[in-house]
Amino acid sequence: MAIPIQRTFADLGTPLHEVSFCVLDLETTGATPADCEITEVGAVKFVGGEPAGTFDTLVNPGAPIPPTITVLTGITQAMVIDAPEIGEVLPALLEFIGTSVIVGHNVRFDMSFLNAAAERLGYGRLPNPTSDTLGLARRLLPGEVRRLNLQSLASYFRSPVTPNHRALADARATAHVFWGLLERAGTIGVTHLDDLLRLPTAKGSPHYKKIELTERLPRRPGVYMFRDKDGNVIYVGKAKNLRSRVRSYFYGDSRRSVAQMMRDLAGIDHYVCDTEIEAEVTELRLIHANAPRYNRRSRPPRSPQYVKVTAEEFPRLSVVRTLRDDGCIYLGPFRSRRVANSVVAAIWDAVPIRRCLTRGGKRSPACNFAQLGVALCPCDGSVSPAEYQAVVSRLREGIEAHPGELLGPLVARIRDYARTARFEEAAEMRDRHRALRKALDDRRNWGVLRDAGLLWAEDDNGDSLLIEQGRMVSSWAASAQAPLSTTAAHARSPHLVPESVAAAEEARLLWRWLDRPGVRIVEATRPLATPRHPIPVLTSLAG
């Protein structure tokens, strides 16, 4: 059974002077733990930069030591014959290491043997973070030291202990090299554990020096903004740890867009947020306010698109860019005309509303849609306003009260297509169903938030959110005090759908947070009431 080891670095933003380090070196009978064993263990522990103990023992490998290893290390079979086996050594070594960060030169080699022994003896792999002096030297000493083996680095940093392929001596030499590398790392802003652990992966790009722009960033949740030399916002992002997230861009992200962005980067601004939802909303607002060129997927569209039920004698569906207070039914806003057209096609598949644009009359021929029987078009004068009103009423009922009126026929058609192996048509109908369902869901949720006025909600963590008609007013963590009361009444928005894509996406974020388990309404100016009929979910193509 594995022995639990309590880790103390859940927050890797620990200052380096507070971190406990255990510098480790192993001698072995060969190169791989699959068929080789440990012959010696040496370790030096440091707390607060000061020595806190040493660990040194030979280990009986339970197998012959190859002559080449004896020549290299000086460890003979006679020296280990009375030494303890690894099963006796490992418990004491694990206790000595504790929760320290394990340091080594080419530490992966030492950890492979240590983890293999720990797993074989039932302790499980060590969860400790590791730091490799070889990786640090590659990052910090490019071109300064010809060879990066331990002997060369120890000489470069003038170690008082010369490495000699004995575990404790090599561990002490590695420790001296490690302190020299830490001093060098401090000159480029590596002051905390998370910086140190990520440093070896940083690529030597010409933009790495810009990492100094991150020095003022706190290790707190919030939103960051990248600016170019002209002060324009080029990217907005959110993070649980601002400093760690922003510095990660300098640690080997090979995406072409990131390389281009880092080339343009000249300054970094940030906002600290008390809660995760506040960071999400703030990020969204800043993206829509600045339209950063590197936020390609989330940049606001040039103009929103709405699906409108027109106010004609024989109403039809129209895709428009302007939301008017004209009493008409609207769905949206949508990011693109393509999505709006998909919603229109879904409604056409669900109800036989007019599709043609002809005013028509008794002498006009029926349009193609009417002849095919897919739409009740008045173009030939055979449809009375009263007959057509039944279609419009069904459409209004599906949008405003009973979504099954519109989604039900689509589900039936999807299943028919699936049963007859018309899978491409079924997939197309599924996509239309998805677009319409999302549009109905967004419209309904917006209406609920709009009608609730001002509300105060709180989650299980004690984090609170103040929402006014689908827009975040403020947010505060459990340790803070509520910024204002919710006793005053507020006028409702005149529109039944959001006035912009930004407002729609913010309302969607807030609704998602409100719908999470554990979130409760503390106070509201009006009831938060959802419609009686739920929006059905499509579970599969068949059945």
- The catalytic residue positions are 165
The conformational region for residue 145 under phi > 0 = left, psi -120 to 50 = alpha, else beta, is beta
Q: Is the distance from CB of 396 to CB of 329 less than 8 angstroms?
A: yes
Q: What are phi and psi of 75, to 5 degrees?
A: -85, 120
Both tokens assigned to 436: 């319409």
Cis peptide before 517 (omega within 30 of 0): no
148 DSSP assignment: -
- At 56, list the tokens: 């040194």
> Where does residue 306 rank: exposed (0-12), middle (13-18), buried (19+ CB within 10 A)?
buried
- The DSSP symbol for 8 reads S
Question: 389: alpha, beta or left, given left = phi > 0 and alpha = psi -120 to 50?
Answer: alpha
Question: How many angstroms separate the CA atoms of 99 and 89, rounded?
Answer: 18
As a 3-state breakdown, the chain gives helix, strand, coil percent values, each rounded to 5, of 40, 20, 40
Per-position b or e across 40-76, b if 16+ CB within 10 A of its CB? bbbbbbbeeeeeeeebebbbbbeeebeeebbeebebe
**Cα 511 to chain centroid, rounded:** 19
CA atoms of 65 and 77, how far apart (whole Å)? 6
Taking only Cα atoms into account, the Rg of the chain, rounded to an integer number of angstroms, comes to 34
Beta-strand ranges (E) seen in 175-262 are 222-227, 233-239
Token pair in block for residue 292: 């950063």
| Cα separation, 25 vs 103, whole angstroms | 9
**How many Å separate Cα 44 from the centre of its chain?**
38
Whether 321 and 332 have beta carbons less than 8 Å apart is answered as no
Q: Which two structure tokens, joined as six digits, stand for 164?
A: 């000699």
From CA 505, how far away is CA 330, in angstroms rounded? Answer: 17
Assigned token pair, 172: 């002490």
Would you state the structure tokens that stand for residue 198, as one six-digit string? 């990520």
